[in-house]
Chain A
Amino acid sequence: MKPNAHYQNPAFCRSLADRIAEMAKGQIRIMEVCGTHTVSIFRHGIRFLLPESILLVSGPGCPVCVTDQRDIDAFIKLAGQDNTIIHTFGDLMRVPGSSSSLQKEKAEGRDIRIVYSATDAIDTAMANPTKQVVFAGVGFETTAPTIAASVVSAKRMGIDNYSIYCTHKRVPPALDALASDRDMHIDGFLLPGHVSVIIGRKGYEPFFQKYRIPSAIAGFEPVDILAAILRLVEMITEGSPALINAYPRAVPENGNATARKTMETVFDTCDARWRGLGVIPGSGLAFRDEYAHFDAARRFGITFPENCPPSGCQCGEILTGKITPPQCPLYNKACTPVDPVGPCMVSSEGTCAAYYNYAAGDDG
């Protein structure tokens, strides 16, 4: 009846959960790094099936949530330029900057359009040769290759009214930052399936070799997630850490080399600022010189201010799993989906939004 019914089989899910309960000794903290995992875990009620000893903490894998407020302000500034069309993925529309949001700017009359792919922005650029079309580039290795491909196409076709404000980020350096944080106590990582399609299991090898924390790449259906958790619990209780691919139907060992090559043709790695986490070395993507023309920040002279007005929300602690959303003083008080303070409450993949929508303020 439903797609992927096989991966939502209740009896199979129950048996996986039972085996996890049998296997788990003492409290185990597993971080699901990816926002899509967070939402899937809540949406399918997976926590309800797990024993209390398994604590699932949400990580920094929601691309909108880790976008620095100053980058949001930059999008808003770009939207305010004359003759400019901003293209964005829908998730970003409601995220508050320091004084506005793209949604509010759209209501003010700015031309801001939601698209499903960067290639839509190319079509807009061709159809509007007298206007500047700027793509709000937010995402991880999952979306970066398509953005890069759009830039390669634009260069080949000589489209010079198209540019990207790039805030793309890489997951492995963020994992490194999390694992090296002494205040973090993570027994195992549930690694993001979509990112892994691009970087492969091999993409995490340096990280794993450095910290040797049990890690499993997981798909997004309940059976995928529970099976990966079971593997993690086995590794944790047996003291035999490994980096495994529990999503082999989608993730090849070496990832997608073509996508990575396109990404590497256009972008070089750089240090990047993550909302709530600060600067993580090598975690960003910057335009290579040959493609610098497509860098909206450079084209329009957008600078990144040193200081950022504090928003008061505790994104950093939430994005690193140190606290859960209900422990943030603003949660469900000053910060709700209707009147959000931070992006974690806005994005469909945000941890705070997941708690608010699926657990209604309860602690998971």
Chain B
Amino acid sequence: MKKDRILLDHGSGGRMANRLIAEMMLPLFDNPMLSRLDDGASFDIPDGRMAFSTDSYVVDPLFFPGGNIGDLAINGTVNDIAMCGALPLYLSAGLIIEEGFPMQDLEAILRSMSISAEKAGVKIVTGDTKVVPRGAADKIFINTSGIGQIPEGVNVSGENARPGDKIIVSGTIGDHGITILHQREGLSFDAQMKSDSAPLNHLVARMLNITKNIHVLRDPTRGGVATALNEIAAKSNVGIRIRESDIPVKKNVAGFCSILGLDPLFVANEGKLIAFVEKRHADEVLRAVKEDSCGRDARIIGEVVSLHCGKVIMETAIGGERIVNMLTGEQLPRIC
């Protein structure tokens, strides 16, 4: 099967489709709920509140240093659920594959999904595969949805930021977006870059173990840290102050941004979170974050204030001040 390609028949729902599922998917995602191959998964739900989220993944290139579309699709939805303060339990996965897609690449992507799900401790319990004619989709698109359980006493929301809260970022920012841009545009900068794609649910659990007084959690994906902070400032109707010198940025990412006129604050991350934590617990939570493999470079980058509501203001590295606004569209490289 190794040199084969995906045919329209693989999405037909007939024998070819069954074979693809039986031979390639079930061995990777084996669990009793999925292997029944019913139209949907059925399971008991725990008491209390649940979180539910969905996301679609269309990244180009499909494979990049530090990951591929498969682990991104798992980590992304796991993280969205974790950012609700929930412990992710079950995922669905929908694949839209372009006719002619190499079977070997599909296998690599599915394998990554399986490894990431295992790492995050979630199960893929239902799925769907469609094949569309050549040109009707760009290689492969993946949608994942997921549900998770919110522990008793946890109330995390973008509306909950309070003056005095400390803002923690779990590590260096901009790694994913810059890696993708570097790879996609075939830029020949000699810079070792790697996506930070990772599941953050264990990190969140560790933080909630210290205190339930975590008001906001957000994974700053598209639009980056700046956009996430602006959304929170608006939703919570508070002001946010951050310090540029405390924001961790890898040297190669900062250099690349500087050459192309991009601002790392607006660049996507796939394995970082921002947490708004009540002041009295902030140091302890920060220590816990730093103990996690996803949070070694974590820092407190600022705090919530009751001034300039709805705005994010940054103290610049040289001691100046400026507004950090929301991104309008994609960041485009400058001319000179």
Q: Cβ of B318 and Cβ of A49 under 8 Å apart?
A: yes
B209 in contact (CB, < 8 A): no
Binds A, one of B30-38, B43-51, B281-289, B319-327: B319-327
Q: Cβ of A114 and Cβ of B249 under 8 Å apart?
A: no
By beta carbon, the residue of chain A nearest B313 is A360
Q: Cβ of B322 and Cβ of A10 under 8 Å apart?
A: no
Q: Cβ of A42 and Cβ of B322 under 8 Å apart?
A: yes
* Overall SS of chain B's interface: loop
By beta carbon, the residue of chain B nearest A141 is B336
A68 in contact (CB, < 8 A): no
> Shortest beta-carbon distance, B129 to chain A, in Å?
29
By beta carbon, the residue of chain B nearest A115 is B185
Quick one: given A2-B254, A357-B325, A358-B325, are A90 and B332 in contact (CB under 8 Å)? yes
Chain A residues numbered 75-112 whose CB sits less than 8 Å from any CB in chain B: 89-94
B residues sitting closer than 8 Å to A (CB atoms) are 185, 187, 245, 249, 251, 254-255, 258, 260-261, 263, 311, 314-323, 325, 328-329, 331-336
Quick one: given A2-B254, A116-B185, A116-B187, are A46 and B325 in contact (CB under 8 Å)? no
> Shortest beta-carbon distance, A121 to chain B, in Å?
14
Complex Cα gap A233–B249 (Å): 35
Q: Cβ of A356 and Cβ of B325 under 8 Å apart?
A: yes
A64 in contact (CB, < 8 A): yes
Among B314, B332, B335, the most chain A Cβ lie within 10 Å of the Cβ of B335
Q: Cβ of B336 and Cβ of A3 under 8 Å apart?
A: no
Q: Cβ of B333 and Cβ of A89 under 8 Å apart?
A: yes
26 inter-chain pairs at a CB distance below 8 angstroms, sorted by A residue, are: A2-B317, A3-B254, A3-B255, A10-B318, A13-B319, A39-B261, A43-B316, A45-B318, A45-B322, A47-B320, A49-B320, A63-B336, A89-B335, A91-B332, A94-B332, A114-B332, A116-B185, A222-B318, A222-B320, A337-B328, A338-B328, A348-B331, A349-B261, A349-B335, A356-B325, A357-B323
A308 in contact (CB, < 8 A): no
Q: Cβ of A64 and Cβ of B319 under 8 Å apart?
A: no
Chain A residues numbered 1-59 whose CB sits less than 8 Å from any CB in chain B: 1-4, 8-10, 13-14, 36, 39, 42-49
> Shortest beta-carbon distance, B39 to chain A, in Å?
37
By beta carbon, the residue of chain A nearest B317 is A8
Q: Cβ of B319 and Cβ of A49 under 8 Å apart?
A: yes
* Set B258, B323, B336: member contacting A140, Cβ < 8 A: B336
Q: Cβ of A8 and Cβ of B335 under 8 Å apart?
A: no
Further 8 A-B residue pairs, CB within 8 A, beyond A348-B332, A357-B323, A358-B323: A1-B251, A8-B317, A14-B319, A44-B322, A46-B320, A116-B187, A357-B325, A359-B323
Q: Which residues of A contact B187 (CB under 8 A)?
A: 116
Pairs of residues from A and B, 6 with the lowest C-beta to C-beta distance, nearest first: A45-B320, A90-B332, A48-B320, A45-B316, A337-B328, A13-B318
Q: Cβ of B258 and Cβ of A3 under 8 Å apart?
A: yes
> Shortest beta-carbon distance, A357 to chain B, in Å?
4
Q: Which residues of A contact B261 (CB under 8 A)?
A: 36, 39, 348-349
Complex Cα gap A48–B322 (Å): 8
By beta carbon, the residue of chain A nearest B252 is A3
Q: Cβ of A116 and Cβ of B251 under 8 Å apart?
A: no
Complex Cα gap A274–B322 (Å): 30
Complex Cα gap A349–B316 (Å): 19
Q: Cβ of B251 and Cβ of A48 under 8 Å apart?
A: no
Among A36, A43, A64, A356, the most chain B Cβ lie within 10 Å of the Cβ of A43
> Shortest beta-carbon distance, B324 to chain A, in Å?
8
